[in-house]
Structure 1
Amino acid sequence: MSVPEDANDLAPGLWPRNAARDAEGRLTLAGIAVDELAERFGSPLYAVDEEDFRGRARETHAAFHGEAARIGTTAKVYYAGKSFLSAEIARWVSEAGLYIDVCSGGELAVTLAAGIPADHIGLHGNNKSLAEIDRAVAAGIGTIVLDSLQEIDRVADAAARHGRIQNVRLRVNSGVHAETHDFLATAHEDQKFGITRANAPEAVALIRARNELNFLGLHCHIGSQIFGAAGFGESAKRLLELHRDLLEGGPVPELNLGGGFGIAYTRVDDPTPIGALAAEIADAVASECARLGIPVPVLAFEPGRTISGPGTLSLYEVGTTKDVEVSLPEGGTAIRRYLSVDGGMSDNARPALYGAQYSARLSNRVSDAEPALSRVAGKHCESGDIVVYNEFLPADAAPGDRLAVPAAGAYCWSLASNYNYLGRPAVVAVKNGQARVIVRGETEQDLLARDAGLDTSL
Structure 2
Amino acid sequence: MSIANVPVSTLADMFGTPSYLLDIADLRERCRDVVAAATEAGEQHGIETSVYYASKAFSSTAVLRWAHAEGLRVDVASLGELVTALRADVPGHAIGLHGNNKSETEIDLALQHSVGRIVIDSLSEIDLVAERARAAGAVAPVMVRVTTGVHAGGHEYIATAHEDQKFGLSLATGAAAEAVTRILAAPELRLLGLHSHIGSQIFAADGFVEAARALLGLRSQVAASTGTLLEELDLGGGFGVAYTPDDEAPDVPALISELIATVARVAGETGEAAPALSFEPGRALVGPAMATLYRVGTVKPVRLEDGGERLYVSVDGGMSDNIRTVLYDATYTAALASRRSDAEPVLARVVGKHCESGDIVVRDVMLPADIHRGDLLAVPVTGAYGRSLASNYNQLPRPGVVAIGDGEPSEIVRRETIEDLLALDLG
- Structure 2 length-normalised TM: 0.98
The answer as to 2:340 corresponding to 1:340 is: no
1:278 is aligned, of 252, 256, 271, to: 256
Distance in 2 (CA, whole Å) between partners of 1:151 and 1:364 is 52
1:108 is aligned, of 82, 89, 99, to: 82
Distance in 2 (CA, whole Å) between partners of 1:363 and 1:449 is 35
Distance in 1 (CA, whole Å) between partners of 2:116 and 2:253 is 26
For 1:212-251, what per-residue CA distance to the aligned partner results, in whole angstroms no more than 9, with x for missing partners? 1110111000000110111111111111111111123113
Moved more, 374-383 or 129-138: 129-138
Distance in 2 (CA, whole Å) between partners of 1:220 and 1:263 is 20
Distance in 2 (CA, whole Å) between partners of 1:109 and 1:156 is 22
Corresponding residue for 1:9?
Answer: none
The answer as to 2:274 corresponding to 1:300 is: no
2:141 is aligned, of 139, 157, 167, to: 167
2:214 is aligned, of 233, 238, 248, to: 238
- Are 1:104 and 1:128, in contact at CA under 8 Å, matched by a contact in 2? yes
Distance in 2 (CA, whole Å) between partners of 1:385 and 1:69 is 48
The answer as to 2:179 corresponding to 1:203 is: yes
- Matched residue type, 1:74: E
- Matched residue type, 1:164: A
SS in 2 for 1:333: coil
Corresponding residue for 1:425?
Answer: 399
The answer as to 2:345 corresponding to 1:374 is: no
- Are 2:153 and 2:238, in contact at CA under 8 Å, matched by a contact in 1? no
Q: Could you list the runs of 4 or more consecutive aligned residues of structure 1 that deviate by over 3 angstroms after TM superposition?
A: none
1:291 is aligned, of 262, 269, 294, to: 269
- Matches of residues 56-455 of structure 1 in structure 2 within 5 Å? 56-197=30-171, 198-248=174-224, 249=226, 250-327=228-305, 332-453=306-427
Alpha-carbon deviation of 1:284? 2.0
- Are 2:220 and 2:229, in contact at CA under 8 Å, matched by a contact in 1? no
Distance in 2 (CA, whole Å) between partners of 1:64 and 1:385 is 40
Matched residue pairs, number?
A: 423
Corresponding residue for 1:23?
Answer: none
Distance in 1 (CA, whole Å) between partners of 2:154 and 2:394 is 30
Distance in 2 (CA, whole Å) between partners of 1:63 and 1:392 is 37
- Are 2:402 and 2:413, in contact at CA under 8 Å, matched by a contact in 1? yes
- Matched residue type, 2:46: G
Identity %, equivalent residues:
51
For 1:106-147, what per-residue CA distance to the aligned partner results, in whole angstroms no more than 9, with x for missing partners? 100111112111111000000011221112112211100000
Distance in 2 (CA, whole Å) between partners of 1:229 and 1:333 is 44
**Structure 1 unaligned spans of 5+:** 1-26, 454-458
Name the Cα RMSD after superposition: 0.9
- Are 1:63 and 1:274, in contact at CA under 8 Å, matched by a contact in 2? no
Moved more, 69-78 or 280-289: 280-289
Distance in 2 (CA, whole Å) between partners of 1:342 and 1:102 is 31
Alpha-carbon deviation of 1:334? 1.2
Alpha-carbon deviation of 1:279? 2.4
Alpha-carbon deviation of 1:413? 0.6
Distance in 2 (CA, whole Å) between partners of 1:231 and 1:35 is 43
Alpha-carbon deviation of 1:358? 0.5
- Matched residue type, 2:253: G
For 1:50-89, what per-residue CA distance to the aligned partner results, in whole angstroms no more than 9, with x for missing partners? 0000110111111112112222111011000000110001
Distance in 2 (CA, whole Å) between partners of 1:178 and 1:116 is 31
Distance in 2 (CA, whole Å) between partners of 1:361 and 1:201 is 51
Distance in 1 (CA, whole Å) between partners of 2:336 and 2:408 is 22
Corresponding residue for 1:13?
Answer: none
- Matches of residues 11-90 of structure 1 in structure 2 within 5 Å? 27-90=1-64
Distance in 2 (CA, whole Å) between partners of 1:171 and 1:155 is 14
Alpha-carbon deviation of 1:280? 2.0
**Structure 2 unaligned spans of 5+:** none
- Are 2:146 and 2:195, in contact at CA under 8 Å, matched by a contact in 1? yes
Alpha-carbon deviation of 1:196? 0.5
Alpha-carbon deviation of 1:179? 3.8
- Matched residue type, 1:270: E
For 1:359-402, what per-residue CA distance to the aligned partner results, in whole angstroms no more than 9, with x for missing partners? 11011011101111110000011111111111111111111111
Distance in 2 (CA, whole Å) between partners of 1:98 and 1:306 is 13
Distance in 2 (CA, whole Å) between partners of 1:252 and 1:206 is 14
SS in 2 for 1:82: coil
Alpha-carbon deviation of 1:201? 1.5
SS in 2 for 1:260: coil
- Structure 1 length-normalised TM: 0.91
Alpha-carbon deviation of 1:49? 0.2
Distance in 2 (CA, whole Å) between partners of 1:311 and 1:221 is 23
SS in 2 for 1:404: strand
For 1:244-301, what per-residue CA distance to the aligned partner results, in whole angstroms no more than 9, with x for missing partners? 1112311300000000000000000001101220122123212211222211100010
